[in-house]
Copies of this chain bind each other. A is one copy, B any other.
Amino acid sequence: MEKGISPAVIRRMPRYYRYLGELLEDGVERISSNDLSRRMHVTASQIRQDLNNFGGFGQQGYGYNVQFLYDEIGKILGQTHMNHVILVGVGNLGQAIANYVKFEKLSFKMIGLFDIDPSKKGKEVSGIKIQMVDELEEFMKTHQVDIVALTIPKESAEPIARRLIELGVKAFWNFAHVDLDVPEGVIVENVHLSDSLMTLSYNITKLK
């Protein structure tokens, strides 16, 4: 049923999930694709098309059941089980990510923080004691790790990623300013802040 869904559709799913979550918070039980369309600034036909990729969910003329749709998209997005996350590089950005309040609500749980700076050893961020990168091997033996967040300089990202892949890591949330070279079967989701800033500056030049 989910075969051949384009990455563009997948990219839009978290946004649907976010909007539906807001509707639930507002106590909305049912919404038409037209109303959802107005809220999200996406055409109603786009919404119908996107949701049809996953089998529909809508009853013609009755709109969507918000809770049902929210739950179904949640399932698609893997929000039905807890994803255990560790983070490597507890600098400013690393601390911000570790503190990122929504973690647990979104089915993500930070279970370990690692750094190479000995002066950080044992300090707590977000209730978790910082460990040394040397301790990664030992930690991985006793913990299920689903995602590794990399908030380290680009020079360190490749070697650390390679080491973690050998330890069985299959998914990276990469903030390092580099595209990681990973074998097939390993997933990387990049947050390249500078790419995003430059897209912005490009669009600014178009305004002028």
B78 touches A201 (CB 8 A): yes
Question: In the complex, are the beta carbons of B204 and A200 less than 8 A apart?
Answer: no
Given contacts A200-B173, A201-B108, contact A14 B187 (CB under 8 A): no
Cβ-defined contact, A199 with B205, below 8 A: no
Contacting B at CB under 8 A, from A31-73, are 40-41
Residues 62 to 109 of chain A near chain B (Cβ within 8 Å): 76-79, 83, 91-93, 95-97, 99-100, 102, 106-108
Interface string of A150-188 (1 = CB under 8 A from B): 000000000000000000001101000101010001010
Q: Is the CB of B170 within 8 A of A207?
A: yes
Given the known inter-chain contacts A92-B99, A96-B95, A100-B193, please indicate yes or no for A171 contacting B200, CB distance below 8 A: yes
Contact B201 A196 (CB under 8 A): no
Distance, CA A173 to CA B99, complexed state (A): 20
Inter-chain contacts of A207 with B (CB < 8 A): 170-171, 185, 187
Q: Are A173 and B196 in contact (CB under 8 A)?
A: yes
* Selected contact of A177 from candidates B18, B79, B189, B201, CB within 8 Å: B18
User: How many copies of the polypeptide does the oligomer hold?
Assistant: 2
At the interface, yes or no: A192 with Cβ under 8 Å from chain B? Answer: yes
Q: How far is the CA of A77 from the CA of B197 in the complex (A)?
A: 10
Contact of A138 with B by CB under 8 A: no
Residues in B whose Cβ lies below 8 Å from that of A173: 196-197, 200
Q: Write out the residue numbers on chain B whose beta carbons fall within 8 Å of the beta carbon of A96.
A: 91-93, 95-96
User: Across the interface, which residues of B come within 8 angstroms of A171, CB to CB?
Assistant: 200, 203-204, 207
A134 CB-CB contact with B under 8 Å? no
Question: Nearest chain B CB to A41's CB is how many angstroms away?
Answer: 7
The 9 closest A-B pairs by CB, nearest first: A78-B201, A14-B195, A92-B96, A14-B198, A93-B96, A189-B200, A78-B205, A96-B96, A187-B203
